[in-house]
Amino acid sequence: MIRSIQTLFAFLMLTTLTVLPAAAGQPGTFAIQGEHFLLNGKPLRIMSGEMHYPRVPRAYWADRFAKMKAMGLNTLCTYVFWNAHEPRPGDFAFDGNLDIAAYVREAQKAGLYVIVRPGPYVCSEWDFGGLPSWLLAEPDIKVRCSDPRYMAASRRYIERLAKELKGLQISEGGPIIMVQLENEYGSYGNDKQYLRDLRDILVNAGFTVPLFTSDGGAQYLLESGTLPDITPVVNFGGGPEGEFGALMKFRQNIPLMCGEFWCGWFTHWSDSLWGRSDGAKQAKELEWMLTTGKSFNLYMFHGGTNFGFTAGSNHAKLFEPDVTSYDYDAPLDEAGRPTPKFYAFRDLLQKHGHGGKKLPDLPAPLPMIEIPKIMLTEHAALFSSLPAPIHMPQPQPMEYFGQEHGLVLYRTKLVGPRSGKLVITELHDFASIYINGKLIGRIDRMRGENMLEIPKGVGEGDATLDILVEAMGRVNFGDKLIDRKGITERVTLSGVTLMSWDVFPIPMNDEFLGRIHYAAGDPAQAPAFMRGSFDLKATGDTYLDMKGWKKGIVWINGQNLGRFWDAGPQERLFVPGSWLVKGKNEIVVFDIDRTGNVPLRSVTAMK
């Protein structure tokens, strides 16, 4: 009874405080004391929304933050993506869409506090869970543990990140109030020395705000995932009373917070339906957290898009790569438009989080456009655009060549067996098999496949075997996190290991694309690049309709929109209006099957 009265009293105090803005330039304090988060010495209930800067074009950050405030939230929560910031060892990028300091300042300008989740591992349905692929060039590397090579790289990253963010902590007049230690570590390992060392790296780098850990509500997850001097929070997608009960049983006299309230879900390629959640049920669960004074973070408030090759994969029984869209069934859809879930949550936040006080108005909607016809008039065959080969006795994965994403072509002359079962051991992830340039079949890791039959007569004479492997997205969660791409073991034909290979890295980056020579006229042989242009009198957001195409990638004005695949359910790629220009716009499509001069169109809806 006493605890109930104390909780109610704290809740009444909190409802008067959560509307306070993050005062720009005014140094303050944030602390964790007993059952409360304290902002400048007074209790604060954190009402947060998750949004990630690489998934939202920089031109739209302010728009999304204004909508976050209009829904009644007071805090932005964001991961930091190590592999985006350090694509090569020691080579850091913090500009453009990766300018996280500008992102944090923009949030503060909107009146939001900020929670930073720097990992090093973040999961987030992101390639390799945010870890850089170059770690995998070490054949025996261990990650998310005390492996000294991993720890040295993590230290370099965190120390460099601190230079961007430590001056934006609340004590320096910035909006950052908390920093997360690792991410759901209890679901992966139990190396307490790793957590202690990582804590010390964060503190010594200059992060002085409170640290916290975030795990599922099971006791063993909490026990493995946190430290005695770090505040734990719980993640869940339903049943908040039980999850908070587990947290209270594990640790007493702490603030109760849901670090990730999964108000939607993600989608894999070949799923029969888009990831969705029960909005009415979630509204009731959010209302329960609001009326009992809990802090929370909506994951996601706005998901955005896995542009380029950033989408990750899961791997339980089978390999499951994620689609390009990260719409997540969030309160804001992929294009940043409010959904019915937005308005349902907004009503609850206004009533229970702000005491009925009117919330800010939504900003004006951003324009949407349709492009009725886009022609692709120039072509280039992939096999005519290859770089110089690397010769080796056995295939190796792309990370051993310093390649981060894209495709790899493995080529060899058939000597000995010319037919029978072709087996690719540990193929990662999608292979197209050619003999003398003719497609004979495909092998898909998603289906658990690793072989196909080469018929007699196909490989006779002076035959060349080509295996074109596309990397779909490194595993981002679970015990199969070490996920190198390409042919990671060996290739056999009729039981004989094939030797003497030429390997052609195809990173699909700006440097590679800049060397492609296009020609007009007859379509090139697949796989092929196709290029065209379209003119606009006005710009706006749109969705490129890829229905009828097979599998590939699209670039507009040099920006990689991401992958398409007729495996579905995604058939349309989001095109931000901020990436379009008035006048002439260029488009490039790569497809493993289609080559014809087929028009494209764009529409205003995701599906």
The pair phi, psi for residue 532, each rounded to 5°, is -155, -170
Site of tokens 């913090």: 94
Which has the closest alpha carbon to 242: 221, 218, 215?
Answer: 218
E strand map for 528-598: 528-536, 542-545, 551-556, 559-565, 572-575, 583-591
Contact 464, 436 (CB under 8 A): yes
Tell me the C-alpha distance between 348 and 354, whole Å. 9
* φ and ψ at residue 382, rounded to 5 degrees: -60, -45
Residues 6+ apart with CB under 8 A from 372: 601
Question: Average of pLDDT values for 280-300?
Answer: 97
SS3 call for 220: helix
Q: What is the 3-state secondary structure (H, E, C) of 237-303?
A: CCCHHHHHHHHHHHCCCCCCEEEEEECCCCCECCCCCCCCCCHHHHHHHHHHHHHCCCEEEEECCEC
Separation CA 419–CA 412 (nearest Å): 14
Instruction: Report strand pairing: 47-50 vs 75-79.
Output: parallel
When mean pLDDT is compared across 23-32, 145-154, 569-578, the lowest value belongs to: 23-32
**C-alpha–C-alpha distance, residues 149 and 400, integer Å:** 16
CA-nearest of 606, 589, 552, 557 to 57 is 557
More confident residue, 24 or 330: 330
Six token digits for residue 114: 């900020």
Asked whether the predicted pLDDT for residue 529 surpasses 90, the reply is yes
C-beta neighbour count of 350 within 10 angstroms? 16
Residue pair 369/539 in contact by the 8 Å Cβ criterion = yes
DSSP 41: T
Q: How much is the pLDDT for 7?
A: 41
Residues counted in the chain = 607
Q: Which residue has the tokens 């090569």?
A: 88
Q: Exposure of 3 by Cβ count < 10 A (0-12 exposed, 13-18 middle, 19+ buried)? A: exposed
Q: Which amino acids are annotated catalytic?
A: 184, 260
Are 10 and 17 in contact by the 8 Å Cβ rule? The answer is no
List the chain domain ranges: 2-353, 375-380+516-603, 386-506
Q: What is the phi/psi pair of residue 340, to 5°? A: -55, -35
Task: Write down the pLDDT at residue 13.
Answer: 41
Q: ∠ CA(476), CA(481), CA(485), 5° rounding?
A: 90
The class of domain 386-506 in CATH terms is: mainly beta
- Percent of the chain past pLDDT 90, that is, above it, reads 92
Which helix (H) or strand (E) segment is 358 a member of?
A: none
Across the range 119-147, mean pLDDT stands at 98
Contacts of 391 (CB under 8 A, 6+ apart): 500, 501, 502, 503
> What per-residue confidence (pLDDT) applies to 25?
74
Q: Could you tell me if 258 and 234 are in contact, meaning their C-beta atoms sit under 8 angstroms apart?
A: yes
Mean pLDDT in residue range 67-84 = 98
Task: Output 194 or 522, whichever has higher pLDDT.
Answer: 194
- For the chain, the maximum distance between any two Cα atoms, rounded to a whole number of angstroms, is 87
pLDDT of 65 reads: 98
Q: Nearest-CA neighbor of 63 among 297, 267, 301, 299? A: 301
DSSP-assigned letter for residue 532 = E
Question: Which tens digit of pLDDT belongs to each residue from 414-472?
Answer: 999 999 999 999 999 999 999 999 999 999 999 999 999 999 988 788 999 999 999 99
Q: How confident is the model at residue 68 (pLDDT cuts 50, 70, 90)?
A: very high
Judged against a pLDDT cut of 70, whether residue 322 lies above it is answered with yes
* Cα(66)–Cα(537) distance, integer angstroms: 28
How far is it, in rounded angstroms, from Cα 553 to Cα 573? 10
Q: In this structure, are residues 397 and 487 in contact, taking their beta carbons and an 8 Å threshold?
A: yes
Give the pLDDT of residue 523.
Answer: 81
- Per-residue model confidence as pLDDT tens digits over 351-410: 999 999 999 999 999 999 999 999 999 999 999 999 999 999 999 999 999 999 999 999
Which has the closest alpha carbon to 34: 15, 6, 74, 76?
6
CA 256 to CA 287: how far, in whole Å? 15
Place of tokens 């390799």: 128
Spatial separation of the C-alpha atoms in residues 398 and 508, rounded to whole Å: 13
Q: Is the pLDDT of residue 60 over 80?
A: yes
Of the pLDDT bands very low, low, confident and very high (cuts 50, 70, 90), residue 595 is: confident
CATH superfamily of this structure's domain 375-380+516-603: Galactose-binding domain-like (2.60.120.260)
- 486-502 tens-digit pLDDT: 999 999 999 999 999 99
Check: CB of residue 560 under 8 Å from CB of residue 553.
yes
Q: Which two tokens stand for residue 314?
A: 């899961």
pLDDT at 88 over 90: yes
Average pLDDT taken over every residue of the chain: 95
Task: Name the helix (H) or strand (E) containing 210.
Answer: none
d(CA 492, CA 188): 34
| pLDDT of res. 24 | 61
Q: Tell me the pTM.
A: 0.95
Report the C-alpha gap between 507 and 510 in whole angstroms. Answer: 9
Residue that is written with structure tokens 């304290």 in the block: 38
What is the rounded CA–CA span in Å between residue 104 and residue 175? Answer: 7
State whether residue 160 is helix, strand or coil: helix
Helix axis angle for 61-71 and 340-348, nearest 10°, is 50
Answer whether 375-380+516-603 and 386-506 agree in fold: yes
Instruction: Encode pLDDT of 12-36 as tens digits.
Output: 444 434 444 455 678 999 999 999 9
What average pLDDT does range 121-129 have in this prediction?
Answer: 98
Quick one: pLDDT band at residue 6, thresholds 50, 70, 90?
Answer: very low
The token pair that represents 54 in the structure block: 């690489």
Which residue type sits at 431?
A
CATH class entry, domain 2-353: alpha beta
**What is the reported pLDDT for 12?**
41
Question: Where do runs of H (alpha helix) occur along 449-498?
Answer: none
pLDDT at 605: 94
Q: What residues pair up with 128 in beta bridges, in sequence order?
A: none
Which residues does 426 contact at the CB level (< 8 Å), separation at least 6? 450, 487, 488, 489
SS (H, E, C) 363-420: CCCCCECCCCCEEEEEEEEHHHCCCCCEEECCCCCHHHHCCCCCEEEEEEECCCCCCE
- Helices and strands of the chain, counted as H and E runs: 11, 32
